[in-house]
Structure 1
Amino acid sequence: MSRPVVVIVGRQNVGKSTLFNRITGGRKAIVKDEPGVTRDRIYGEAVWEGRSFVVIDTGGFFTGTDDEILAGVTRHALMGIDEADVVIQLFDSKDGLTPADLELASLVRKCNKAVLWVVNKIDNLKAEQRMADFYHIGGTVLGVSAEGGLGFDELMDEVISRFKPGSHSDSTTSELPKIAIVGRPNVGKSTLVNTLLGKEKMLVSPVSGTTRDSVDSICTYYGKKYVLIDTAGIRKKPNVVEDLERFSVVRAIRSIERADVVVFLIDATEGIVEQDKKIVSLIDRSGKGLILCINKWDAVDSPDESYRQFMDSVEHHFAFAYYAPMLTISGLMKKRITKIFPLVGEIVRERKKRITTGVLNRYVETLNKQLPAYKGKQTKVFYISQVAVEPPQFAVFLNYPEAIKDNHMRYIEKLIRQGYPFNGTPIRVYIKKRNR
């Protein structure tokens, strides 16, 4: 059976993300003393008393708003309730029981889920006295300090006691291929994730920078599962003016580090800009698999001519990532997006591929004919060996490493790729000194 799911809901700024981080044991949700920081549903894994379960952090519950994004946040919170087995409605002890709290509680009751009413910011005796304000909501009311940890153990014991018998699994996402969806703000990352998932998982809005967190989702394609990581858009440094935006950039970079393959989105209506080059360079240096996706292709006039122009532009701007395949897609119109998964599977296999030393040594003679002399002496390669995978890494052992320049490194890489293309993944070549 699948693992139980616990969702945390409540008004904005009651401490949901702080509690989420304490339960999952990490700083995954962005925490800041500002209403509405969490916008999407954030998923995490947790274990308590040997029981493994999934935790969902949601955006704040807003009432009576005409704001498109805030209404979307509320909708996502309700969708999180629908996914859950246990619902934690969190209250702020300092605010008392508000009409918005009661409105959300009424909606929670109608969902027929196991519910825990939890009052946050109970960190001293005076705060405990405020618990009385919440008792008439009915049922068990627990006090906790999400930040300080007071009452946390009791809360977690109550949570797992409400799991259905047998609702656990040893399955894990750690072995699934991880795909990070990366790009500048508003290139269509969340739209692509929603289309791949077939449901509205991410909050989508034309407002630039809607996604602030990196959100993991499980996607299945022809029976094979993948983890999709939708990242906050990476902005140019001068535009990262708030510490919250800066934290989102760090989160996006960490998502790249966690991924096996990065799908980098480029806006077809804007073309490749300098910031795109910097981000792709970051992905390349991280050693991750890479797919270049030209998104919003449905909005392009003269597709054939545009494709030729993009190919030239990719070759010019991303010459260092010549190994990366390119797709033209439309996340909105669902055009060619399913081609991503077979490519990801191929790249994951390529990243794990090993070449025996015997096969690699077939290149030794060719290399020795091309390498320059060093101080009048012959530069000689003795042997080549693959030393690591993900990404593939090779050590070239020779007598004069000082003779090898960047152009020789590129030549060695291309020589290896002639027999083994390693499509979609960078490879690393290291020069090692060895005396005969």
Structure 2
Amino acid sequence: MFTVVIVGRPNAGKSTLFNRMIKSDDKIKAITDKLPGVTRDINYGVAKWEDKTFTVVDTGGFFPEQKAENIIQKQMLEQIEIAISEADLIIHLLDGKEGLVPDDIETARWLRQTEKEILWVVNKIDNPSKLSRIYEFYSIGTEQLIPISALTGYGFEELIEKIIERLPLTQSLKSEEELPKIAIVGRPNVGKSTIINALLGKKRMIVSPLPGTTRDAIDAVCTYYGKKYLLIDTAGIKRLSYYKREISQQVYVEKLSYFKALRSIERADIAVLVVDATEGIVNQDQKIAGIVAEQKKGLIILINKWDLIPQDERDRKAKIFAEEIRRKLWFVDYAPYLTVSATNKTRLTKIFPIIDQILEEYAKRVSTSELNKLFNQKLKDVVLSSGGKELKFYYITQVDVEPPTFVVFVNDKSAVKQHHIKFIEKLLRETFNFEFSPISIKVKQRK
């Protein structure tokens, strides 16, 4: 798909423009804030304009290489280079409110060296009365500037028309929304971004020993034996009490990241929960698994950093983890788990056959005749006593998929307890091979 990459200084309005271009409430939008450097990773989205579709890439703030002061800033530059290498068109976004600065000229010089086509766009021009702001930008070395306001939409249609003019006459309209969506979730600094980078074979996500490096929910397409998956890297989910401490701009941005991580789980088909092998299953891991379970999403547990466990301790540790998962994550007992090393890329690709199996089960539909054949064999004429009430099961039907959802009809809904539901779930799993997928069972009282 035709790819447009947005590049510019920190706080020039790149994420605001990105959000306007993908313009859909059901997409996870890039975090925007007045704090410079909020966007650290590259963020992918699909823009649709009438019958045209193209990919938009939001990048972290660009600054000359000699000004990169730490590992994160250096990796931000590496990621921008990767994004630009994939670009068909670059938007150099300039800050019309702050005016032309030396870094803009240096960025323009660097972009020209890529030999990619570039649109020079001056942002924060809210109305025609502010058009005079753009004139100084001509000294950047271009004959055409496009004034816009990413915030209000002024000049936005003209920018889109310039992009549409450059689209190829024919292109695939297959949207990334059609791909299986896999959200990588977990506490801060457990290795989520490293796992995605290893799977992609590219440094798409910034990796650092600093907790909280990923602030946004970042999408990337991964191909495994010809099949594509949309991987979603999310910010580390901290304890909710963390976000209730003294309000500051930093906490505000991190709280947005927290809710974006939750929304990433909502739109995913499967969540991959990454836990730290050196720490075991902790309370926050349980809470994140609980969020996934409540939303009835597929779940895979990756025990990462297995390379840090001494070789002679691994068998014992594996047994400890199996027991911890059984005891602490009992409510997702259908979820498979793997020990992996993102750093050494050990056993990571084993998740793809599991993902495929979950997706198949997640979309599976069982006929009413097959379901009631099972009921007739196991529950016909069975009358149970529950709290002094007589409970009788009549029949069962499947009403939905993703997740597979079943409705059981009984004589007295109030008499149905959790252990009855678990018994029926066990029957369904064993009989119809729902090994790893979550399933939902609802109860209705027959009148």
The normalised TM-score by structure 2 is 0.93
Once the two structures are overlaid, the 10-residue window that deviates more, 385-394 or 9-18, is 385-394
Is the 8 Å Cα contact of residues 363 and 415 (structure 1) preserved in structure 2? no
Structure 2 counterpart of 1:202? 205
For residue 220 of structure 1, what is the aligned residue in structure 2? 223
Give secondary structure in 2 for the equivalent of 1:372: strand
Task: Decide whether aligned partners of structure 1 residues 377 and 227 sit closer, same or farther in structure 2, where only a CA change above 3 A counts.
Answer: closer
The one-character-per-residue Cα deviations of 1:209-240 (angstroms, maximum 9, x if unpaired) are 11111111111111111111111111111223
* C-alpha contact 2:380 2:394 (8 A) present in aligned 1: no
Q: Is the 8 A contact 2:214 2:234 kept in 1?
A: yes
Q: Which residue of 1 aligns with 2:242?
A: 239
Deviates most, 210-219 or 63-72:
63-72
Counterparts of 1:11-90 in structure 2, within 5 Å, are: 11-26=9-24, 28-63=29-64, 64-90=67-93
* 1:380 to partner: Cα distance: 1.8
- Residue 71 of structure 1 deviates from its aligned partner by 2.1
SS in 1 for 2:391: coil
Choose the corresponding residue for 1:400, options 412, 416, 419: 412
CA-CA distance at 1:37 after TM superposition = 0.4
How far has the Cα of 1:297 moved from its partner?
0.6
Structure 1 residue identity aligned to 2:272: V
Do the aligned residues in 2 keep the contact of 1:180 with 1:263 (CA within 8 Å)?
yes
Between the aligned partners of 1:272 and 1:236, the Cα distance in structure 2 is 15
> Is there any run of 5+ residues in structure 2 with no aligned partner, and where?
246-250
TM-score by length of 1: 0.95
Q: 1: distance between equivalents of 2:254 and 2:389?
A: 55
State how far apart, in whole Å, the 2-side matches of 1:124 and 1:238 are.
43
Give 3-state SS (helix, strand or coil) of 1:130's partner.
helix
Partner of 1:341: helix, strand, or coil?
helix
Report the more deviating stretch, 278-287 or 44-53.
44-53
Identity of aligned residues (%): 48
* Worse-matched range after superposition: 90-99 or 317-326: 90-99
CA shift for structure 1 position 379: 2.4
Of residues 405, 411, 427, the one that matches 2:423 is 411
**In structure 1, what is the Cα distance between the partners aligned to 2:46 and 2:294?**
29
* Count of residues paired in the alignment: 432
**Shift of the alpha carbon at 1:386?**
1.3
Question: Could you say which residue in structure 2 is the equivalent of 1:284?
Answer: 293
Q: Which residue of 2 aligns with 1:342?
A: 353
The 10-residue stretch of structure 1 (305-314 or 292-301) with the greater mean CA deviation from structure 2: 292-301
Query: Which segment drifts farther, 345-354 or 411-420?
Result: 411-420
Deviations 1:6-61 (A, max 9, x none): 01100000111111111110461101001000001100101224221000000001
Q: CA deviation at 1:306?
A: 0.3
Mapped contact 1:374–1:402 kept (Cα < 8 A): no
Displacement of 1:385 after TM fit? 1.1
Whole-angstrom CA distance in 2 between matches of 1:379 and 1:119: 70
Separation in 2 of the partners of 1:255 and 1:268?
A: 24
Partner of 1:174, secondary structure, is helix
Partner-residue secondary structure (3-state), 2:182: strand
Code of the residue aligned with 1:31 in structure 2: it is: T
Correspondence for 2:398 among 386, 389, 404: 386
Mean CA deviation greater in 149-158 or 271-280: 149-158
Report the Cα distance in structure 2 between the residues aligned to 1:371 and 1:284, rounded to whole angstroms: 31
Alignment of 1:186-335 (within 5 A): 186-240=189-243, 242-301=251-310, 302-335=313-346
